[in-house]
Amino acid sequence: TWTPDAFVETTVAELKKKIGTDKVILGLSGGVDSTVAAVLLHKAIGKHLHCIFVNNGLLRKNEFEDVLKQYEGMGLNVKGVDASARFLDALAGESDPEKKRKIIGRVFVEVFDDESHLVEDAKWLAQGTIYPDVIESVSATGGPSATIKSHHNVGGLPDFMKLKVVEPLKMLFKDEVRRVGASMAISDDRLGRHPFPGPGLAIRILGDITREKVAILQEVDAIFIDGLRDWGLYDSVWQAGAMLLPVNSVGVMGDERTYEKCVALRAVESTDGMTADWVNLPYEFLQKTSNDIINKVPGVNRVVYDISSKPPATIEWE
Ligand code: XMP
């Protein structure tokens, strides 16, 4: 019978044998799969694993700094690369959802290629690919590895794509990956984290992206997600987030008429993201969250809750 401890033991032994003293590069996303893959490889080859964690400027509030610290705390040899300006400059003026995704994919490949060149003599590229990614080949929720897969044919093969590939989680389902992570003492907080799309907040800002809009949405999202945690609702939701809508609406603040942004909150139940139902969050929670957002986030004067299921509505709005 399959147990996480036995899987770790066998896999670490296999990785040691396969990789020896070669250098390995791995792109961390903050997500469960890349984190578990990194910790497994770290157990096998220690400092020969070079992890790269890219900030695309579209992560949740404080996510880059917090997660980087967690990774360092786990003893991983990780380099945090803040490429926010590169991504946001490349996205300037673009409103089309698919073009935004392409730009982010392309810039990620460029940044990752630059960084991987700094690891001299690397022989392997490690990826947190899991079994559903293998069978579907196009992953809906993948991080860096999915980005790489869908963009590797744009403008020739970057050098890191020519490395030998090692995918230690290739035969595992998501729940098995979580169990393996838990058996290696990765925190529940990291393992129980909601899925977050590779393009991040870019596809939750409808229309074009500016630094100001990213900052507003990060604040709104943080109030919503922290609230879910505080109210003990986080784990009963599969995924949650906020969308910044490209509309202003009229409001009133004191004696002043306001004309400001509207945000939509979305929380869904799902098993794999293919179908999803909106979550019946308590009215008291929605009331408190809406008040907090409108009182604390300048530029937002209206909050709505998305009560659409997938299909036909997708989870993301773009
Ligand atoms: P939709 O919006 O298609 O989302 O119902 C289903 C799941 O996929 C995630 N998603 C993405 N993940 N790159 C990703 O890595 C993307 O471009 C992307 N678009 C959607 C979404 O967050 C949800 O979990």
Render pLDDT for 279-296 as a digit per residue (tens, 0 to 9): 999 999 999 999 999 999
Does position 151 have pLDDT exceeding 90, yes or no? no
Helix 4-19 crosses helix 32-45 at what angle (to 10 degrees)?
60
Any known ligand binding at 73? no
Residue 135, pLDDT score: 85
Residue 136, pLDDT score: 76
Any known ligand binding at 36? no
Query: Going along the chain, which residue ranges are E strands?
Result: 23-28, 49-55, 78-82, 122-126, 164-166, 239-253, 256-269, 277-278, 300-305
Please state, for a pLDDT cut of 90, what percent of the chain lies above it. 91
The strand pairing partners of 23, in sequence order, are 122
Q: Is the ipTM of this complex over 0.95?
A: yes
Ligand 1 cavity residues, CB under 6 Å: 101, 140-142, 146, 195, 197-199, 239, 273, 310, 314-316
Where in the chain is CATH 3.30.300.10?
204-305
Residue 205, pLDDT score: 98
Residues 6+ apart with CB under 8 A from 195: 31, 141, 238, 239, 273
Residue 91, pLDDT score: 98
Any known ligand binding at 33? yes
Any known ligand binding at 30? yes
The strand pairing partners of 278, in sequence order, are 268
Which amino acid, 172? L
Centroid of ligand 1 to alpha carbon of 316 (angstroms): 6
C-alpha dihedral, 13 to 14 to 16 to 19, nearest 10°: 180
Q: Looking at ligand 1, which atom is closest to the CA of residue 146?
A: 15
Residue 137, pLDDT score: 64
Residue 154, pLDDT score: 52
Query: Distance between CA 98 and CA 11 in Å, rounded?
Result: 38
Centroid of ligand 1 to alpha carbon of 79 (angstroms): 26
CATH 3.30.300.10 fits 204-305, yes or no: yes
Mutate which of 33, 130, 141, 196 for ligand 1 pocket (most atoms within 8 A of beta carbon): 141
122: region left, alpha or beta (phi > 0 left; psi from -120 to 50 alpha):
beta
With cut-offs at 50, 70 and 90, classify the pLDDT of residue 16: very high
Do residues 272 and 136 touch, judged by C-beta distance below 8 A?
Answer: no
Output the residue whose Cα is nearest ligand 1's atom 18: 197
Does position 61 have pLDDT exceeding 90, yes or no? yes
Q: Looking at ligand 1, which atom is closest to the CA of residue 196?
A: 22
The structure tokens listed for 298 are 């300048």
Where in the chain is CATH 3.40.50.620?
4-191
Q: Average pLDDT, stretch 134-162?
A: 63
Any known ligand binding at 29? yes
Does position 83 have pLDDT exceeding 80, yes or no? yes
pLDDT (tens digit, 9 = 90+) per residue, 185-244?
A: 999 999 999 999 999 999 999 999 999 999 999 999 999 999 999 999 999 999 999 999
The CATH number of the domain covering residues in 4-191: 3.40.50.620
* Residue (of 190, 218, 194, 222) closest to 70 by Cα position: 190
Output the residue whose Cα is nearest ligand 1's atom 22: 197
Does position 141 have pLDDT exceeding 50, yes or no? no
